[in-house]
Amino acid sequence: MGKIVCKSCGSRNSIRLEYGMPDDAMISRIEAGEVMHGGCVVAGLTQDFYCLDCNAKFDKVSSDMFMKGLSMIKFKLSRTEKHRPVVHQWQLDFSHDGNRELNGFTMHYQFYDEEELKTDKKGVFIADMHEVKRQIEEIGLEYWLEEYHGEPDVKNEEWILELRTSDYPMGVSIKKGYHHRPYTMVKWCRLLKKFNLSDKLFRTIE
């Protein structure tokens, strides 16, 4: 059993994946339940771990292919706060000016309170991109499942995440949640909130 924490559900109940045509040694590892066979043909992306609780395939951090190709992240969170429906919406653009090495990214944040636009903030976020990327890499948005479902509660939370990547198997991937959050979403929301609050690092574009 793996000890690493699943990015999708937080479980430690995962098993290592092995790819390729199994030889005798691999077959005995599979039979002993030490590893799981990930497939014979290694095409594109492979992950090292398979979560036995939520079926997510994941690695300790996001793949280089994903991080290099990542050009845009959209995230919309709709929920009930103080008995009122609110919407938080972020768009992070990492490819402005066609230069990914640029030391910053554009962020557009909107906040709706009962369908009324209360905050509309757009600007260039001048940040330590190395640190920002390290945090995104660790959150592993890449490994979230396509859909999460839970029982409706007072927060009545729904969210949608859109990831745009180039030179990566999925050019655009959409992930959604209904009254349920992936394990690393707390970290993700904390990071976004930090961006929202850091006015010093934020240069507004009108």
Query: Rule CB under 5 A: which residues touch Zn ion?
Result: 6, 8-9, 11, 51, 53-54, 56
Q: Which is nearer to Zn ion, 10 or 123 (CB)?
A: 10
Query: Of the two residues 8 and 71, which places its CB atom closer to Zn ion in the complex?
Result: 8
Q: Identity (one letter) of the amino acid at 25?
A: A
Cβ proximity to Zn ion, 35 vs 129, nearer residue = 35
Cα 92 to Cα 105: distance, rounded to the nearest angstrom: 7
Which residue type sits at 113? D
Supply the minimum distance, in Å, between the C-beta of residue 81 and Zn ion. 28
Cα–Cα distance, 71 to 102 (Å, whole number)? 12
CA distance 115 to 39: 47
Smallest distance, Zn ion to C-beta of residue 51, A: 3
Specify the residue, 5 or 73, whose C-beta has the smaller distance to Zn ion. 5
CB of 55 to Zn ion, least distance (A): 7
Which H or E run includes 94? none
**How far is the C-alpha of 136 from the C-alpha of 79, rounded, in Å?**
23
Minimum Å gap between C-beta 180 and Zn ion is: 13
